[in-house]
A and B are shown apart, each in its own frame.
Chain A
Amino acid sequence: DIVMTQSPDSLAVSLGERATINCKSSQSVLYSSNNKNFLAWYQQKPGQPPKLLIYWASNRDSGVPDRFSGSGSGADFTLTISGLQAEDVAVYYCQQYYSTPLTFGGGTKVEIK
């Protein structure tokens, strides 16, 4: 199984500042035949189901604000929120869809400082 490790577990950021979340996989999730990283990021607000933010490591889903960006390749990935807004308070999860069992990171709780 591919183990996904997120850091930090939580972070507090001032409004308008940058939040950075890291995600490491226990093995590469880069598929060589198409050069795509099978890595996604989700946002979960309290009382709501998760929402897809980023797929293929760096593609924003439809309607996702451009302050959210994903980067990285292989086994190291980053989600960046540039200019944190109050509505971004949530728990963020990374997930690999390279192989089953599909696995998630433990989550990172983002709060306002």
Chain B
Amino acid sequence: EVQLVESGGGLVQPGGSLRLSCAASDFTLSSSWMNWVRQAPGKGLEWVANINQDGSEKYSVDSVKGRFTISRDNAKNSLYLQMHSLRAEDTAVYYCVLGRKHGWLLDYWGQGTLVTVSS
């Protein structure tokens, strides 16, 4: 069974930075697209960014362009999200999501890590 474990969330001040990590077990991430999806408290789902198997293709939602960077280290079987210039509206649970059947189909989800942007 695929297990995805996110870490790195926490409380950060507006304008600050944070780096999220996602580690996989019982699955080799290098064979799949990976995604970050977030969910603000009590709200719906918002896709944030994704990256292909070798990191040569990356896409992101407009609201995070220029502030967030998705990356991966296949040797460490890990996915990352570097977040800069954080805003209150970035407050959310961030999920690491695997696209195994199809890169942009979100078929395995981690438990999420909470990012709170507040002074």
Contacts and interface: CB of A to CB of B under 8 A. Distances in A.
Interface residues of A, number: 21
A39 B74 CA distance: 29
Contact of A49 (B46, B61, B101, B112): B112
Contacts of B109: 49-51
In this complex, the member of B35, B45, B50, B59 whose beta carbon has the largest number of chain A beta carbons within 10 angstroms is B45
B59 A100 contact: yes
Interface in A38-53: 38, 40, 42, 44, 49-52
Interface in B63-119: 95, 101-102, 104-112
Given A101-B59, A101-B62, A52 B106 contact: yes
Contacts of B105: 40, 52, 55, 97
Contacts of B44: 93, 104-107
Interface of A: 38, 40, 42, 44, 49-52, 55, 61, 93, 95, 97, 100-107
